[in-house]
Amino acid sequence: MNPKDAQDLAKLLAKQPGIRPVELKDVRKLAELLHEFPEIGSIEVKGWFETGVVITRTGNSAHHAASVPMAVAHPAPQPAAAGPAPTPPPATATAPPAAALKDIKSPMVGTFYKAPEPGAEPYVKVGTRVTQGQTVCIIEAMKIMNEIEAEVTGVVREVLVEDTQPVEFGTVLFRVDPNG
C-alpha cells in the first residue's frame, strides 16, 4: 500500500462510527493513570484494526488486560437503592474456612462486570473451577474494559460483588479454594 492509499484509507476509517484517532488528551489521561496507580506496569495503545489498549500490571502476578476496543460501551451503572447492602451468595456447607481461601482482588478502581456483555453468561460463578490466567470478570476504568484474570487455580467458593457494582483498588471480588 503506498502512502496516498494509506492516507485515503485513514480518512475513510475516520468517518466510520466508533473509530477515532488517539488524541493527546487520551494519552494524557493514560499517563495520569500510570502515575496514579504504580501497580500498572505499562499501557500499550494499538491502532487500526487492532484498536484497543493493553494494560499490564507490575508485581509477581501476570495480571493484564486483553486488547479491547476503545469504543466499547457498557450500560452505565444504576445508582443503588437506599437500604441494606446486598449480601454475597452463601458459601456451600463444604467450603473450607475463609483463611484457607485465596482472594482475587480488584487491581483498580472501576465498575465490575461479571460477563463479557450484557445478557451473556458470567465468566464464573460459585462452584466454577478456574485456572491461573483465566478471565474471571471485567473491570471498566476510564472507558477501558480490563479483563481480570485468576491469580490462583481452584474452585470459586464466593462471589463478593454484584454486576455493575463500583469497586475500589483491593476490593475482594472472589474467594477461591486452591484445594478444590
Q: 46-69 pLDDT, tens per residue?
A: 655 555 566 665 543 333 444 444
pLDDT tops 60 at residue 145: yes
Q: For residue 13, what pLDDT band results from cuts at 50, 70 and 90?
A: low
Q: Given a cut of 80, is residue 3 above it in pLDDT?
A: no
SS3 12: helix
Q: How confident is the model at residue 25 (pLDDT cuts 50, 70, 90)?
A: confident
- Contact between 144 and 53 (Cβ < 8 Å): yes
Q: How confident is the model at residue 8 (pLDDT cuts 50, 70, 90)?
A: confident
Instruction: Answer yes or no: pTM beyond 0.75.
Output: no
pLDDT (0 to 100) of residue 160 = 95
Query: Is-contact 156 127, C-beta < 8 A?
Result: yes
Q: Is residue 80 part of a domain?
A: no
CATH classification of the domain holding 47: 2.40.50.100
Report the half-sphere exposure of 51 (CA within 13 A, side-chain side).
13
Backbone angles phi, psi at 34, to 5 degrees: -60, -40
**How many domains are there within the chain?**
1
> Which of these, 151, 169, 152, 172, lies nearest to 161 by C-alpha position?
172
| pLDDT greater than 70 at residue 16 | no
Tell whether 86 is covered by a domain: no
Residue 81 resides in a domain? no
Answer yes or no: is 49 within a domain. Answer: yes
CA distances for 24 relative to 30, 31, 137, 174, angstroms:
10, 10, 30, 37
> Domain of 102?
3-72+95-177
| Cell 483498588 sits on residue | 169
**Is residue 32 in some structural domain?**
yes
Mean pLDDT, range 20-49, rounded to an integer:
69
In this prediction, residue 122 carries a pLDDT of: 94
Q: Would you state the pLDDT for residue 98?
A: 59
- Average pLDDT for residues 62-78, to the nearest whole number? 41
In a domain, 170, yes or no: yes
**pLDDT of 144 over the 80 cut:** yes
Domain-embedded: residue 16: yes
- Whether 83 maps to a domain, the answer reads no
The pLDDT score that the predictor gives to residue 69 is: 42
